[in-house]
Copies of this chain bind each other. A is one copy, B any other.
Amino acid sequence: MRVLGIDPGLTRCGVGVVEGVPGRLGKLVAYQVVRSEPDEDIAHRLLHLDRTLAELVERYQPDSVAVERVFSQHNARTVMGTAQASGVAILAGARAGLPVQTYTPSEVKAAVTGSGTADKAQVTAMVTRLLRLAAPPKPADAADAIAIAICHIWRGGTRAKIEAAAARRSNR
């Protein structure tokens, strides 16, 4: 299963593509950070993000898209832009006909480090280890996006198993 993970942001939006199956170490396919300038027009910034995400979906052909959920307790000055970027990110997956799942930051942290309150360094360290990378992903903004993709692969597996079990039960 190939997942495109997105850590939404307007100035920096992390994107990570990971291939894997639940319970195994995955493989990093690609990652990048989509940038735009804070003094640019909001319409241009969102359009640039939309186009770049559409290109990445087209290039890497993921099976699904996973996006980190945005909460209002984040930095209030930037949270509206982050939420707008997350809307565009979710839409990019939906427009391509892909299933889109969102995860809270603590779900992502718990999936890769075992703790929902892990810090950025821990997440980066675990992403590096779980994907057997020679060095931590650079820029560091991409590590979160990669962690979101890993989270989706592992959680998706659990979910798929639960659904399969439920289907078997109801078929009896």
Contact = CB atoms under 8 A, between A and B. Distances in A.
A22 interface: no
Interface size class of A (residues with CB under 8 A): 20 to 34
A148 B54 CA distance: 30
A21 interface: no
A102 B71 contact: no
Contacts of A47: 91, 94-95
Interface stretch (A30-38, A79-87, A127-135, A149-157): A79-87
Contacts of A94: 43-44, 46-47, 50
Integer count of this chain's copies in the complex = 2
Contact of A93 (B43, B95, B100): B43
Interface string A68-94: 001110001001100111111011011
A95 B50 contact: yes
Contacts of A41: 100
A101 to B, nearest CB: 9
Nearest to A83: B83
A160 interface: no
Interface string A11-49: 000000000000000000000000000000111101100
A88 B89 CA distance: 10
30 contacts: A41-B100, A42-B90, A42-B102, A43-B90, A43-B91, A43-B93, A43-B94, A43-B99, A43-B100, A44-B94, A46-B90, A46-B91, A47-B94, A50-B91, A50-B95, A70-B80, A70-B83, A72-B72, A72-B76, A72-B79, A72-B80, A79-B83, A80-B83, A83-B83, A83-B84, A84-B84, A84-B90, A86-B87, A87-B87, A88-B91
